[in-house]
Amino acid sequence: MFCKNTFIYVLAIALISITSSAFAQNPPAYATAAVADSSRPAEQRADDAARMPATVIAFAMVKPGSVVAEVRPGRGYYTRIISKAVGANGKLYSIDSAERVEARPNRMDGIKAIADEAGYSNIEVKTPAFATLAEVGEPLDVVWTTNGYHDMINGQTAEEMAAYNKSVFRALKSGGYYFILDHAAQVGTGLSATDTIHRIDPEAVKEQILAAGFVLDAEGDALERANDDRTTQGKFENSQFMLRFRKP
């Protein structure tokens, strides 16, 4: 029997799919302008076709005026883009853990250099303990992690990951978003590929984040690759999933 709750669920999934497709086809002007930022290095621009950053920015609900925590920024591909997308009235906290910085003291030097450049004064670099990584001292609109969640799994226990995800929940405003993009493993493989081919099963991510109190707000397939069987090393050219969770 097709009950009312089933209808509502199917309708919600359909709306999520439509919204995701709209972002992929026509990202908003503030997102495309952020990607077009002339300060971005040429080697990062070369990855734009594969990584579709304007689509990603829009899907993650990063907007002008947003307060964002970018967790594990890596080499800063998204750091400049997020900074420009949130603009002068927004704020970007670029974050890695004190434990990782202690192990490699120069880890955040590249990000600090970006923050020191003209036009990026809305970036603040922070290195708190992992257990409170996203708790920056003010309520956040978005917590953002790209291609880093699987590596967190490799470095922390299940209990530590659960505590981290709960800290993200605390850090966000009511209605705020937790955005995770990562290299997609085959569904059903759980966490088994995180340290071998550096991919993660999106269903395993959902399970962990929902357990922290979030609701799944949207799934994005713009970075799905039909010819990728998800069994090789995770790369930007291969399938990546986008998950957007919301704090009720």
**25 confidence band (pLDDT: 50, 70, 90):** low
pLDDT in tens, 168-223: 999 999 999 999 999 999 999 999 999 999 999 999 999 999 999 999 999 999 99
pLDDT of 155 reads 87
**What is the number of structural domains in the chain?**
1
- pLDDT higher than 80, residue 17: no
pLDDT in tens, 60-83: 999 999 999 999 999 999 999 999
Give the span between the Cα atoms of 17 and 11, in whole angstroms: 10
User: For every residue of the chain, which 3-state class applies, written as one string?
Assistant: CCCHHHHHHHHHHHHHHHHHHHHHHCCCHHHHHHHCCCCCCHHHHCCHHHHCHHHHHHHCCCCCCCEEEEECCCCCHHHHHHHHHHCCCCEEEEECCHHHHHHCCCCCHHHHHHHHCCCCCCEEEECCCHHHCCCCCCCEEEEEEECCHHHHHHHCCHHHHHHHHHHHHHHEEEEEEEEEEEEECCCCCCCCCCCCCCCECHHHHHHHHHHCCCEEEEEECCCCCCCCCCCCCCCCCCCEEEEEEECC
Furthest-apart CA pair in the chain: how many Å? 61
* Percent of the chain with pLDDT strictly greater than 90: 88
The boundaries of the domain holding residue 234 are: 4-246
Give the span between the Cα atoms of 143 and 71, in whole angstroms: 7
CATH number for the domain harbouring residue 180: 3.40.50.150
The whole-number average pLDDT for the span 14-29 is 59
- pLDDT higher than 60, residue 125: yes
15 vs 33: which has the higher pLDDT? 33
pLDDT of 221 reads 95
Which phi and psi angles does 71 have, rounded to 5°? -90, 130
Average pLDDT across the chain, whole number? 91
Q: Which of 12-16, 114-118, 183-187 has the lowest mean pLDDT?
A: 12-16
